[in-house]
Amino acid sequence: MNFMRTAVLLAGMTALFLVVGLLLGGRGGMGIALVFAIGANIFAYWNSDSMALRAVDAREIDRAAAPDLVDDVAMLASRAGLPTPRVCLVDSPQPNAFATGRDPDHAAIAVNTGLSAMLTREERLGVLAHEMSHIKHRDTLTMTIAATLAGAISSIAHWGMFFGAGRRQNGPGPIAAIGIAILAPMAAMIVQMAVSRSREYEADRSGGQLCGNPLWLASALGKIATAAHAIPDEAVEQRPAMAHLFIVNPLAGGFRDNLFSTHPDTANRIEALVRLAAEMGIDAHSAAQQPAPEPRAQAPSGGWSPFRQPSPAPAAAEGSFLGGRGVARPAGGPNPWAAQSGDGGRPDPWGRG
């Protein structure tokens, strides 16, 4: 259903683009609008990943720099049947992450440094699984197309207003041209928001299934949403058009940021993940009786969690706080948490030895 809804929304945005071109420039204007849209999307198709990564100064890392992070991404990619995406690190204290790339073979997952600092490893697995789901379902391309079309509609509507659409014979008139220039971008933004929200719910669901425990992702969303309001991301604040890429809206939460939010309400997302956990036989109430891992340094206060909150401690506990119970374990293939040369081995979040 979500895939069909996305297709209908994108078709509607394309139709809106052509209608704006027709109203402002007649058949010739519609043709120009179509050529403009095709050109913009071709450019975005080939360059969206590099543009997004450069915008936040993301740097690609390897296993030597962050073995746990790279291993976790590799395991989730294997479970999803995907090539391992590039892993990039963004120097930002705000816990957040996004995926980009035109297809699974050219994908990257960018993780803010604050994500590993504030989340447990299980919660981070939930976030990575969410982003892996975006890659698997090619949402990164879908969202790029939606954002490009929305920007193109805004551009052509304003060009039509300033370059004489209102004076064209049988044209809409100057007042109507101004109305189109105002209303068309708003309509495109609303459609883009609908596309983004639909894809986020789907990525939550499939990401919760991929990591094996939707409660990990639910707990992560609660922490990230709380921290995003308290810890601004200066790079994204200067480029708000990038906000839809992140797992949680990275903007600080002012009225302007929330008026046209591209993300669903976090509480609704958490509620859906708790229901999914129940469908998978994972009980949030029994999980609440398990000792929670000690928070990492600078962990945000508040946020939803199914786990009993411990007293503050300076270091993070690396073990699985569910002990692997009720979690779908990866079947077959190498275990990236097994002992590697020089690292002594790391705990397996799925409870395997």
Helix (H) or strand (E) holding 247: none
**What dihedral angle (degrees, nearest 10) is formed by the CA atoms of 300, 303, 307, 313?**
10
Among 122, 131, 200, 202, which one carries the catalytic annotation? 131
Give the chain's radius of gyration (CA, Å): 22
Q: For the sheet containing 86-90, what is the strand order?
A: 59-61, 86-90, 108-112, 97-100
Q: How is residue 109 annotated by DSSP?
A: E
φ, ψ for residue 95 (rounded to 5)?
Answer: -75, 115
| 3-state DSSP helix/strand/coil % of the chain, to nearest 5 | 60, 5, 35
Give the number of other CB atoms < 10 A from CB of residue 211. 31
Task: Count Cα atoms within 13 angstroms, Cβ side, for 257.
Answer: 19
Question: Can you read off the two tokens belonging to residue 229?
Answer: 């309001």
Cα gap 149→144, rounded to integer Å: 9
- Which residues, 6 or more positions from 144, have their beta carbon under 8 angstroms from its beta carbon? 44, 45, 48, 102
Task: Count Cα atoms within 13 angstroms, Cβ side, for 252.
Answer: 12
What angle is formed at CA 35 by the lines to CA 192 and CA 5, rounded to 5 degrees?
30
- In this structure, are residues 13 and 149 in contact, taking their beta carbons and an 8 Å threshold? yes
**Active site (annotated) includes residue 131:** yes
Residues annotated as part of the active site: 131
